A = this chain, B = another copy of it.
Amino acid sequence: MFASLCHLLVLISFALPGQPQSPNRFPETSPAVARYAEAASKISQRGLRELGAYSLLAELTDKIGARLSGSPQAAAAVEWGRKTMLAQGFTNVHTEPVMVPHWVRGETEQASLLASALEGNTDQKLAVCALGGSIGTPRAGITAEVVEVQSLEEARGLGERGKGKIVFFNRRFDPTLINTFAAYGGAVDQRHSGASAAASSGAVAVLVRSMTMANDDEPHTGAMEYEANVPKIPAAALSAKAADTLAKSLKNGDLVHVHLKLDCKTLPDVESANVVGELVGTEKPNEVIVIGGHLDSWDKGVGAHDDGAGCVQTLEALNLLKRAGLHPKRTVRVVLFMNEENGGAGGRAYASKKRPDGERHIAAIESDSGGFAPRGFGVTAKPEVFARFGAWMPVLEPFGADKLMVGGGGSDVGPLSAQGAVTIGLEPESQRYFDYHHSNNDTLDKVNARELELGAIAIALLSYMIAEDGI
């Protein structure tokens, strides 16, 4: 793009009366816009000047890095969260203990496609990583013939043909789904439940195509669970390229054998904690709006998008409200949840903890879909409550965060729904998320400081409006 000053002047200053405004102008038609214009301006100017969310994310990812539940790094992250809240002057800063699983990857994870299936004479390494929660293989590893399936049903239906085999789940993301979370939702059952489905047909291990739209050689980990009363077998993710290699060998019709070696295991549960701090409401302090993300991550990459982004956006959102001198009528509370990735213990513990008499959660905003440019919010609420959000959205239009979607909030705030809280999820642009998710690609350099901050600003504003107007 050339200077094109004319075009830019048009973009900035030309507005037809009564037509939608350019993205740097607040539309003047909504009562909420008039009411919250000053707050929006204060919050966004400070946020975009200081980019505080990104500074926090750099601290968390550079100083602590990956922080899987139960690890020393997760404990360090709890302490970091507490100290950050104190440094920002939040009120009632404390931790709330929760017992979490302690799965460790171990030193070895290897998979090889054995030479018999190959034109060359040497075994071929396949990029692989254990799925979280998997048992390890015997020390010598497992060598077995591979059978490919596309679904849990197909794995369960293998019967005798599954016996003694490594079952390879190779169903891809549906690329025609525009929102990549929908594509993830359509494939992740293989990762989560593939092991027990295959074990029910006598399989000895499973390999699962990575949950990603990318076509690269990074394996993507993630949670799996075993069903009761089915033998536990090792489960690992193959990179997209490794899955293609394996599928190609199988297409030739030859017998294909893979050697798999994992020394991951589950240790006894560990005490960890959620981290909590707030801005106490001036008029109705017992009505609480929770905003939060999860402090734990997988042990690949540094959890920059998942979910360092959600933690620092919600910390920054409360900080922006404070520093803008806003005193909301209701309480806005940041909760950094522990153990979202492999258990959800933090979300359940927070919701089930006894709170002071009269306190109730009216809404909960979760940010756990990456630190990309915000698009809007998903909201789970009754129709008449949902409509209230429609009135607030124009305030978020200048930030590109005004799309109101049906259904929102992730697994951390989900348990608050049963208590009557409206659950809400920040919905950022989704295209790049699963290129990084749960892999070594999820690093700080994939996060754009301004995109991240715009999400923090949107959360600050929406939580403030709820805190002012109520639900």
Contact = CB atoms under 8 A, between A and B. Distances in A.
Interface stretch (A227-235, A409-417, A459-467): A409-417
A454 B178 contact: yes
Contacts of A408: 10-11
A39 interface: no
Interface in A3-29: 3-12, 14-24
Nearest to A452: B431
A11 B425 CA distance: 10
Nearest to A437: B1
Interface in A309-345: 340-342, 344
A375 B375 CA distance: 9
Contacts of A185: 5, 8-9, 11-12
Interface residues of A, number: 84
Contacts of A23: 178-179, 375, 403, 405
Contacts of A14: 380, 406-407
Contacts of A386: 16, 19
A373 B429 contact: yes
Interface string A367-395: 01110010100101001001000000000
A182 B407 contact: no
B6 A414 contact: yes
A383 B18 CA distance: 9
Contacts of A1: 181, 306-307, 340, 368-370, 410, 433, 437
A429 B400 contact: yes
A431 B454 contact: yes
B178 A380 contact: no
Interface string A245-270: 00000000000000000000000000
Interface stretch (A43-51, A80-88, A136-144, A160-168): A43-51
Given A12-B182, A14-B407, A431-B450, 13 more contacts: A1-B410, A2-B223, A2-B410, A3-B192, A4-B410, A5-B185, A7-B407, A8-B181, A9-B185, A11-B405, A23-B403, A213-B450, A431-B451
